[in-house]
Chain A
Amino acid sequence: MNPVIELHGLEVRFGQRVILDKLNGALSGRAIGLLGPNGAGKSTLINTLLGFHQPWSGTARIFGYDIRVPAEAREVRGLFGYMPENDSFIANMSGVRFVRLMAELAGLPPSEAMERTHEAFFLVGLGEARYRNIGTYSTGMKQLVKLAQAIAHGPKLLFLDEPTNGLDPPARQRMIELIQEIRNRGELHLILSSHLLRDVEECCDEVLILKNGRSAAVCNLEEERRANRRFLELETRGANGTFVEAIEGLGCEAACGAHGRMKIVLPDGVEIRQIYALAAARDVQIRRLNHKRDSLEDIFLKAMEAPNGSL
């Protein structure tokens, strides 16, 4: 798959302060999560990709367009949709007028912009409130109208900066479902920056974890989930050396712990029922069998604890 974003030694400084420290890597997921503690550089990375900050050195490519080349940066901005973290709107405008203006600025002809604005409002669930002044919207509605303006012009890459900020649980769930729905249509890539691991876990298939402006980890959540399914934790009764040898005979890696606990990595082609069969043949009781659940939180914490800042 062609990378969505390539980072080539991207360094951003504000004065003498290094905010992004020579980031490298390629991100190609359909939904890319940006994770990191406060001040890690998530928003700066998004702002740099959007062209709000000039890199000190290095560069980034989005869909192959170099953000340091003005003509290419301008070209690629036509493919963006951006939902900022904070309240962003134009005062004294109705929702429909605001989103239409944004769609026109993205390059849509007025009639198309109007049509897609109405579609976007119905998609985010604000169809009935679209003629109201944005100033009268609740926090949740303002988040939704920000999403509407970000998708109305049909972008190819959607930046979502803390999309569930300030939302109550039902509104958060609705926002997550919307993002999943948009992602599952498969017509755009999205970059979701959040400090809420659950949001990222539910929406993203690839994660870039930042720490102190450096890339601490790039993690393919899909691969991680697949790998987790091959990693088993067993609690047995009556297991002995022959059972372990038999498991290793299947090609599994096995490690024994105290009190009959075992950890097994299944190779491709070996199924769990073969483990049960071996246990039954040796009169070994399998009291508990769990898939390893190395959650995003574990990955994140490991990345944060890594001494040199990367896993």
Chain B
Amino acid sequence: MAVYKKTYQRYAGTLTPAWSRAFIIPRYAFEEMHRKRFLNMFFLASMLYPLVCAFLIYVNQNLNFLKLLPGAPTQGFLEVNSTFFMALLGVQSMMGFFMTAFVGPGLISPDLANNALPLYLSRPLNRKQYVLGKMLVLVTLLSVMTWIPGLLLWLLHGVLAGNGWMGQNLRVASGLFFGAWIWILVLSLLSLALSAWVKWKPAAGGLLFGVFFVAAGFGAAINGVLRTKWGNLINISHLVGSVWVSLFEEPMNRGAGAVFFRVAAGEEIPVWCCWATLIGICLVCLWLLAKKIRGAEVVRS
């Protein structure tokens, strides 16, 4: 029967499994993102640094290649160690931050502004699945930009270096993986919470920058005025950087930590304080999301 001649009929076919519903949201979000040229270009640009790293790793393991270039050093050219991978993580995490600032605010705020939440939540999809679906967008993007290329490069170097390099540098792999996940969780939750509370997309994006950069500046001001180091507790990049240093088992000295996430000498705070603050930030974000993600808003008198 032609589609325009059909009348209302109940659906009696098979249904998709309940666990798969949360994946529908990221699928649609990625389709939407794919149409935006700027995001595509930025995503591709974020892969340049890992490609350069892959080239450097190849050169490092094939020094004969350098002999082709007149005047190029063949000894001590480049050391591929935890500092190398931490720098990779730092650069990629910062690229991920910008990507989140472009994508994150558009995830929840339009749904709230257009009153779409009742439509989502009147279906067999609960609030947790809704947030998980939105979070999966950022988690997938940031994973592809951070720990996945990081681990691939670690594997590449391990294969090229041989002689048990991978066994000796398992700590680097775990640092890459867990360090990236800490960043991904903090950044995703913060971005979603801001997106839920600030309905205007540009404002939510601006606020995300503010939380990182203005708070960092404010923390530095506190440190300067009060001659303390506890102002770093509101500097998220410092907190993440400190945790990364401990995960990579790097010595805490001048210039320790990844690029963009350096821990200034003399301003180190105990790692457990950094962990506790990051966990606290995540819990506050979850609470903010729980307050805002509701099928119907209740106005209490």
**Interface residue ranges, A against B (CB under 8 Å):** 14-15, 17, 43, 47, 50-53, 74-75, 77-78, 80, 82, 84, 86-92, 97, 101-102, 104-109, 112, 115-116, 118-119, 122-123, 127, 149, 151, 153-156, 159, 181-182, 185, 187-188
Q: Tell me which of B120, B122, B300 has the highest count of chain A C-beta atoms within 10 A of its own C-beta.
A: B122
Among candidates B9, B110, B118, B296, residue contacting A90 with C-beta atoms closer than 8 Å = B110
**18 A–B contacts from the bound complex (CB under 8 Å):** A15-B301, A50-B122, A52-B121, A52-B296, A74-B18, A78-B124, A80-B123, A84-B115, A90-B111, A92-B32, A102-B119, A104-B16, A105-B123, A107-B123, A119-B6, A154-B11, A154-B12, A155-B10
Among candidates A15, A77, A122, residue contacting B4 with C-beta atoms closer than 8 Å = A122
Inter-subunit contact A107/B122 (CB<8 Å)? no
Inter-subunit contact B298/A53 (CB<8 Å)? yes
How many A-B Cβ pairs are below 8 Å?
Answer: 132
Q: Tell me which of A15, A52, A115 has the highest count of chain B C-beta atoms within 10 A of its own C-beta.
A: A52
Measured CA separation A92–B119 after assembly (Å): 16
User: B273 an interface residue at 8 Å Cβ cutoff?
Assistant: no
Inter-subunit contact B119/A151 (CB<8 Å)? no
Measured CA separation A88–B297 after assembly (Å): 14
Contact mask for chain B residues 14-27; partner A; CB cutoff 8 A; 1 contact, 0 none: 11101001001100
Which residues of the partner chain A approach B118 to less than 8 Å between Cβ atoms? 50, 52, 82, 84, 88
Inter-subunit contact B301/A75 (CB<8 Å)? no
Q: Top 4 closest A-B pairs, CB basis?
A: A154-B11, A52-B295, A107-B15, A82-B122
Interface residues of B in 8-60 (CB under 8 A from A): 8-16, 18, 21, 24-25, 28, 32
Interface size, chain B (Cβ < 8 Å)? 41
B26 → chain A closest CB, angstroms: 12
Measured CA separation A185–B3 after assembly (Å): 17
Measured CA separation A188–B125 after assembly (Å): 21
Measured CA separation A149–B116 after assembly (Å): 12
Which residues of the partner chain A approach B299 to less than 8 Å between Cβ atoms? 14
Residue of B nearest to A90 (CB): B116
Measured CA separation A84–B116 after assembly (Å): 10
Among candidates B25, B110, B115, B124, residue contacting A107 with C-beta atoms closer than 8 Å = B124
**Interface residue ranges, B against A (CB under 8 Å):** 3-4, 6-16, 18, 21, 24-25, 28, 32, 110-111, 113-116, 118-126, 294-296, 298-301
Inter-subunit contact B123/A102 (CB<8 Å)? yes
Inter-subunit contact A53/B296 (CB<8 Å)? yes
Residue of B nearest to A101 (CB): B28
Which residues of the partner chain A approach B10 to less than 8 Å between Cβ atoms? 154-156, 187-188
Measured CA separation A101–B123 after assembly (Å): 11
B interface majority secondary structure: loop
Inter-subunit contact B7/A185 (CB<8 Å)? yes
Inter-subunit contact B8/A185 (CB<8 Å)? yes
Knowing A51-B121, A53-B298, say if A181 contacts B110 (CB, 8 Å): no
A110 → chain B closest CB, angstroms: 9
Inter-subunit contact B300/A15 (CB<8 Å)? yes
Inter-subunit contact A181/B8 (CB<8 Å)? yes
Which residues of the partner chain A approach B28 to less than 8 Å between Cβ atoms? 97, 101
Other CB < 8 Å A-B pairs besides A15-B301, A119-B3, 8 of them?
Answer: A14-B301, A52-B295, A104-B16, A104-B21, A105-B123, A107-B18, A155-B10, A187-B8
Inter-subunit contact A74/B4 (CB<8 Å)? no
Inter-subunit contact B8/A89 (CB<8 Å)? no
Knowing A90-B111, A109-B14, A118-B3, say if A84 contacts B8 (CB, 8 Å): no
A116 → chain B closest CB, angstroms: 7
Inter-subunit contact A14/B298 (CB<8 Å)? yes
Inter-subunit contact A77/B8 (CB<8 Å)? no
Measured CA separation A97–B24 after assembly (Å): 12
Measured CA separation A118–B114 after assembly (Å): 23
Inter-subunit contact B8/A182 (CB<8 Å)? yes
Measured CA separation A77–B16 after assembly (Å): 14
Which residues of the partner chain B approach A118 to less than 8 Å between Cβ atoms? 3
A258 → chain B closest CB, angstroms: 52
Which residues of the partner chain A approach B121 to less than 8 Å between Cβ atoms? 50-52
Measured CA separation A224–B287 after assembly (Å): 51
Inter-subunit contact A116/B21 (CB<8 Å)? no
Which residues of the partner chain B approach A159 to less than 8 Å between Cβ atoms? 122
